[in-house]
């Protein structure tokens, strides 16, 4: 009997990781645990500030250096993540920075005065700057291409949920334990992550990449002056003080010099190939805008709920928590859409539309808005933020080479940090300004002819009673003026988001951005 032989087709499986590891599950668990810590620490300490102020004997302005020192050093150190990872290896830098973060967290927890706290928080910011960017690049290296979007979704959970649950966790630890546990909680969690990572992370080859001292110095001065302007501006009445103008001049001058240096230097601190990638630039814009939405709403809602709606910390947490649930759900949906090779622009567009819609709803809030309305709006807004958060990483890394991942991740996280800092400072300054303007406008309408309850003209005949009545009227005006100011801030955030929506159509769809496995190659 004649037999026919079918020619064999050799295939090469491209769905393999660039840096395979033996214990993939343990490595991922350790990386995820370490990655969430610096994200939480950007917000978890905020609620403990009043307790730290009394314990450390600090003033209301000086205690803010506990937050400022962390943010400044974090922003200054982040740009050199790529250079350091090539000089000492990603694995070593990741382990060293995680260990340093654990130690500095413990030192913050046992600080005895403000000087110690500020120094240790600054060191904590330096060590924490490298953790999240390295988490992204290492996860992409050790994971199969078909798992890239899933790994980025897991990291996005931390980026979205950290600002949401950070204040809630910090408040619970402060009220039930002690404010020091806001920092000490990092020690056991980080130690477990370190034990899981040390035997499992891959080893990288070292390169002798020259250090761009000029570029680093310019970026460090730019970021430091910007952060000082944002943090100090409110306390020194912004540009009525010469100090603010100095910060602004240094920031703009060093920014211009850094751009020129980056464009002309033979060995710039950031590889210019990143800025030639349109997808990466759009992802950087989306990351900054998304951070504005996440962090500014989280900065506005707790004081609004507790100060003007008389919610306690538990009720405030119950109002805020649904946005975290919405983020988890939408990121899972976005991940499934990406794995099914649906155009990545679709979930991004859906996310921006939902975010804009909920911000528009928030512009209609008043002092009579109920819990259900706020919780539902937060849930839908969480859906929108989640739909945007995951595809940001997908489009950012879709067309970049693996050698640029660490630098790109560091720059993306720098954009997140800038977005949160600038956004919070803008809405805080606008709130303070609009509060005064709204109070003046509302108070001017309280006259004898406009008030049906109080005869303003007759108050002068009864000084004691009149004083009490005017205090009550002033308190009511303050509450209404504050609500008007919150609504104005929601309008600003909404229009910032609207401005980013057209850029969705500029994203270049590509098969590599789908996150799915590439087809086999036939020979």
pLDDT tens digits, one per residue of 312-342: 767 777 888 888 888 888 888 888 888 887 8
* Segment 439-488, tens digit of pLDDT: 677 666 665 555 555 555 555 555 555 556 556 666 677 778 888 888 99
Q: How far from the centroid of its chain's Cα atoms is residue 238's Cα?
A: 24
User: How far are the Cα atoms of 49, 70, 127 from residue 117, in angstroms, in the given order?
Assistant: 12, 10, 15
* Segment 354-366, tens digit of pLDDT: 999 999 999 998 8
Cα 386 from Cα 123, distance rounded (Å): 31
Helix and strand totals (H; E) in the chain: 19, 2
* Segment 13-60, tens digit of pLDDT: 566 777 787 888 888 888 888 888 887 777 777 667 777 777 777 776
Cα 396 from Cα 407, distance rounded (Å): 12
Cα 147 from Cα 515, distance rounded (Å): 7
Residue 421's nearest CA partner among 295, 255, 254 is 295
Q: Residue 268 burial (CB < 10 Å; 0-12/13-18/19+)?
A: middle
Cα 163 from Cα 211, distance rounded (Å): 33
Task: Provide the phi-psi class of 89: left if phi over 0, else alpha when psi is between -120 and 50, else beta.
Answer: left
For the record, the structure tokens of 92 come out as 């070593």
Cα 49 from Cα 60, distance rounded (Å): 9
Q: Please, are residues 388 and 350 in contact by the beta-carbon 8 Å criterion?
A: no
* Segment 409-435, tens digit of pLDDT: 878 888 887 887 778 778 877 888 887
User: What b-and-e string marks burial along 239-257, b requiring 16 or more CB atoms within 10 Å of the CB?
Assistant: eeeebbeebbebbeebbeb
Identify the residue with better confidence: 197 or 457.
Answer: 197
Cα 120 from Cα 180, distance rounded (Å): 13
Q: Which residue has the tokens 């003209």?
A: 457
């Amino acid at each position: 009997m004649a037999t026919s032989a079918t020619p064999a087709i050799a295939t090469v499986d491209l769905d393999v990781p660039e840096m395979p590891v033996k214990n993939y599950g343990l490595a991922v668990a350790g990386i995820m645990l370490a990655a969430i810590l610096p994200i939480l620490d950007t917000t978890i300490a905020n609620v403990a500030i009043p307790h730290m102020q009394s314990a450390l004997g600090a003033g209301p302005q000086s205690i803010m250096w506990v937050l400022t020192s962390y943010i400044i050093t974090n922003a200054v150190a982040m740009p050199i993540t790529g250079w350091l990872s090539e000089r000492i290896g990603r694995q070593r830098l990741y382990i060293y920075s995680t260990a340093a973060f654990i130690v500095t967290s413990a030192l913050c927890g046992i600080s005895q005065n403000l000087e110690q706290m500020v120094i240790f928080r600054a060191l904590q910011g330096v060590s924490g700057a490298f953790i999240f960017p390295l988490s992204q690049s290492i996860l992409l290296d050790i994971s199969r291409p078909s798992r890239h979007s899933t790994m980025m979704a897991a990291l996005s959970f931390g980026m979205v949920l950290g600002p949401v649950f950070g204040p809630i966790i910090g408040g619970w630890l402060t009220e039930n334990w002690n404010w020091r546990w806001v920092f000490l909680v990092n020690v056991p969690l980080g130690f477990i992550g370190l034990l899981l990572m040390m035997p499992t992370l891959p080893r990288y080859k070292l390169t002798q990449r020259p250090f761009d001292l000029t570029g680093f110095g310019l970026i460090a001065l730019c970021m430091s002056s910007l952060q000082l302007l944002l943090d100090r501006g409110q306390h020194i009445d912004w540009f009525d003080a010469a100090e603010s103008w100095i910060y602004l001049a240094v920031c703009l001058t060093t920014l211009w010099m850094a751009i020129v240096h980056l464009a002309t230097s033979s060995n710039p601190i950031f590889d210019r190939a990143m800025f030639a990638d349109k997808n990466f630039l759009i992802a950087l814009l989306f990351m900054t805008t998304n951070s504005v939405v996440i962090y500014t709403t989280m900065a506005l809602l707790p004081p609004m709920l507790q100060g003007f709606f008389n919610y306690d910390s538990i009720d405030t947490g119950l109002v805020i928590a649904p946005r975290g649930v919405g983020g988890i759900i939408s990121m899972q949906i976005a991940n499934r859409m990406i794995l099914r090779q649906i155009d990545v622009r679709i979930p991004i567009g859906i996310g921006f539309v939902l975010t804009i819609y909920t911000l528009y709803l928030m512009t209609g809030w008043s002092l009579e808005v109920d819990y259900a309305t706020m919780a539902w709006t937060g849930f839908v807004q969480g859906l929108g933020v989640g739909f945007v958060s995951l595809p940001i990483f997908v489009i950012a890394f879709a067309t970049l080479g693996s050698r640029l991942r660490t630098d790109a991740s560091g720059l993306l996280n720098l954009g997140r940090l800038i977005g949160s800092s600038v956004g919070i400072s803008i809405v805080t300054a606008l709130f303070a300004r609009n509060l005064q303007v709204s109070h003046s406008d509302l108070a001017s309408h309280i006259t004898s002819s406009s008030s049906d309850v109080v005869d303003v003209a007759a108050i002068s005949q009864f000084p004691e009673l009149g004083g009490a009545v005017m205090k009550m009227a002033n308190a009511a005006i303050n509450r209404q003026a504050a609500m008007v100011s919150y609504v104005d801030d929601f309008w600003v955030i909404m229009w910032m988001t609207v401005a980013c929506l057209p850029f969705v159509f500029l994203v270049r769809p590509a098969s590599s951005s789908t996150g799915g496995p590439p087809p086999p190659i036939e020979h």
